[in-house]
Amino acid sequence: MPYRIAVAGATGYAGGEILRLLLGHPHYQSGEMEIGALTGASNAGQPVAELMPQLVELSDRVIEDTTVEVLAGHDVVFLGLPHGHSAAIGAALDEDTLVIDCAADFRLRDAEQWQHYYGSEHAGSWPYGIPEMPGHREALANSRRIAVPGCFPTGGTLAILPAVAGGLVEPDLAITSITGVSGAGKKANVSLLGAETMGSLKAYNTSGKHRHTPEFEQNLAEYTDKDVTISFTPVLAPLPRGILTTATAPLVDGVDQEAATATYRAFYDDEPFVHLLGAGQQPQTQNIVGSNMCHVQVEVDERSGRLLMTSAIDNLTKGTAGAAVQCMNIALGNEETAGLPRVGVTP
C-alpha cells in the first residue's frame, strides 16, 4: 500500500512548495506515495486549478477544511499553518502519524523564550529539523513529530555552525539576513505591496526583536560551552525568494584562512545540500532559487580580526518546504535526497 500524505495550509507559499516537491518525488512517480487531503481555511471549497495553477497534476482537486477529521488516517501530515495553530492538531493526530510542522510552535525548548517572543503558552518542543546539525539526523530518524526550522536560522546556522563548533571564533555574532518578501507568507499586508517594496530595502524587527533570534542562540549553544550572543538584523528586499546571510565574529588566536577553509570543508564534505564555494566566490541568491541547496563561504578578515561567514538559501525550499521533505525522507527511511533538487533555476 502506498503511504498517504496530507498538506494543511496547502494554498500558502510553504504548502504550495511542499506540493511542488512531492510531485517530483520518485515515490510519487512510482506510485509508492499518494497525495491525500489538501486543506486550507479561507480557501476551503475552492479548486486547486484556480488557486495554484502551477500544480497541473492536482488541478482536479478541491481544498478541504483544516480539521483533525480530514487529516486523520494519513501516514504523513505537513502543517503549513500560522504560528499557534499546530499544537492542537499535532496533539489530536495518531502518535504513529508523521507530523511535520513548518510553523514555530515546537522549535524552541525554552518556555520563557517562547512566551517572550510569541506571547502564548508553550506547547513543548519536537526534534529540530536541520539534519546537518550533528546529532539531529539521528533524532529525526526515530521521530514521528518534527519541527521545521525558521528560514533565517536555517541559512544562518549553516553559515556559522562549523566556526562555532570548531572553535574558530568567539560566539559573539553579528548577523544580517537579506530576504525576499515570500518569507512573510501569502497574506494581505500593506508593507508587502509591490509599491512599498520595489526599489527599496528595509530593516525590520531589529535589536533582538525578531522571533528567530532565540532559535539562533539555541542552535549554536548546542556546540559550545561559551555564552552565545546574537545581534540579528533582518532586511526586506524586493525579491520573491532567497535569503543572503552574512555573519561576523571575533577570531580565536591562530586561526588563518587555511584553517577556516579546512574546518568548513571537513564539516560539510559529506552533506548533499551544503556547498562550500571556492576561494574568491560569494554566495548569490540567484544560484539557489528552486533548489534545496545552501551555498556557503568563509573568509578571514585579518585587518579586523574577525571571521566572515556567508550563506544563500531559497527561503521556500531549503528554508521551509525542502527542509520538511528532507526531514520526511529521513524519518521514513527514504533516500534523504529523494525529490529534492540540488540545481537552482537561473537567471
Q: Are residues 192 and 124 in the same domain?
A: no
Spatial separation of the C-alpha atoms in residues 12 and 39, rounded to whole Å: 10
156 with 277, same domain?
Answer: yes
> What is the residue range of 77's domain?
3-148+320-332
198 and 228 in a single domain? The answer is: yes
Query: Which pLDDT score is estimated for 42?
Result: 86
Whether residues 287 and 174 share a domain: the answer is: yes
Q: Is residue 343 part of a domain?
A: no
Judge if 103 and 161 occupy the same domain: no
Matching residue, cell 500524505: 5
324 and 309 in a common domain: no
165 plus 262 within the same structural domain: yes
Give bridge partners of residue 101 from the DSSP assignment: 79, 147
Cell of 145: 513529530
Residue 232 CA to residue 207 CA, distance in Å, equals 7
Angle made by CA atoms 21, 105, 163, in degrees to the nearest 5: 75
Number of separate domains in the chain:
2
Query: What angle do the packed helices 151-165 and 257-268 form, to 10 degrees?
Result: 120
pLDDT at 187: 67
Residues 199 and 177 in one domain: yes
Residue 237 forms part of a structural domain = yes
Task: Looking at the structure, tell me whether residues 51 and 144 fall in a common domain.
Answer: yes
CATH of the domain at 277: 3.30.360.10
- Spatial distance between the Cα atoms of 49 and 55, rounded to a whole number of angstroms: 8
Active site residues: 151
pLDDT of residue 197: 79
pLDDT of residue 85: 87
Q: 21 and 81 in one domain?
A: yes
| Percent of residues in the chain assigned helix, strand, coil, to nearest 5 | 35, 20, 45
Q: What does the pLDDT read at residue 191?
A: 73
One domain for residues 300 and 274: yes
Q: Is 324 part of any domain?
A: yes
Regions of the chain where pLDDT drops below 50: none
- Whether residue 341 is contained in a domain is answered as no
pLDDT of residue 280: 93
Q: Report the pLDDT value the prediction gives residue 188, as an integer from 0 to 100.
A: 66
Q: What is the pLDDT of residue 181?
A: 87
In a domain, 132, yes or no: yes
Q: Are residues 187 and 120 in the same domain?
A: no
pLDDT computed for residue 126 by the predictor: 97
